[in-house]
């Protein structure tokens, strides 16, 4: 099975795992997914992640995070830029998600970062997704 949009698949797996109240989930690893996972951990949306090798394949394992009453930390996770319709923005066009309560993840010439970091560093890029 070949995936046309691995990032979209990754985000959908996170969404489904959270709805099913899983503690952890596995996805095929890639550098981009590792960077997205790093940002999710830094921003407090997942508790942890690690990259492992299972049967010769690289796997990314995410440990999901829930609130005190078992409510999901990620309320919404949406893909913005898709393979068929890329969305690029300059550093002054990066909008705030939910008035600053959520984050957007961008790929920039300086690497993968949140919209807040990109605005601070003065770089634009491709908006991958929005999370709140």
Is the model's pTM score more than 0.85? yes
DSSP helix/strand/coil, 81: coil
Is the pLDDT assigned to residue 1 strictly greater than 60?
Answer: no
Position 74 scores a pLDDT of 92
Among the listed ranges 32-36, 67-71, 78-82, 126-130, which one has the minimum average pLDDT value? 67-71
Q: Which two tokens stand for residue 113?
A: 């970062």
Write the pLDDT tens digit of every residue in 69-118. Answer: 999 999 999 999 999 999 999 999 999 999 889 999 999 999 999 999 99
**Do 130 and 78 contact (CB within 8 A), yes or no?**
yes
Q: Which domains does the chain have, with CATH numbers?
A: 6-131 (3.30.1370.30)
Edge-to-edge, what's the strand order for the sheet holding 24-28? 24-28, 57-64, 46-54
């Amino acid at each position: 099975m070949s995936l046309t949009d691995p990032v979209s698949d990754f985000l959908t797996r996170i969404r489904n795992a959270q709805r099913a109240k899983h503690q952890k989930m596995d996805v095929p690893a890639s550098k981009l997914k590792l960077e997205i996972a790093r940002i999710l951990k830094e921003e407090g949306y997942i508790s942890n992640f690690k990259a492992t090798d299972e049967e010769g394949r690289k796997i990314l394992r995410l440990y999901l995070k829930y609130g005190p009453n078992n409510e999901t930390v990620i309320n919404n996770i949406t893909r913005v830029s898709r393979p068929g319709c890329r969305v690029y923005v300059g550093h002054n066009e990066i909008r705030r998600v939910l008035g600053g309560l959520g984050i957007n993840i961008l790929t920039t010439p300086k690497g993968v970062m949140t919209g807040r970091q990109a605005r601070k560093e003065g770089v634009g890029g491709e908006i991958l997704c929005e999370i709140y």
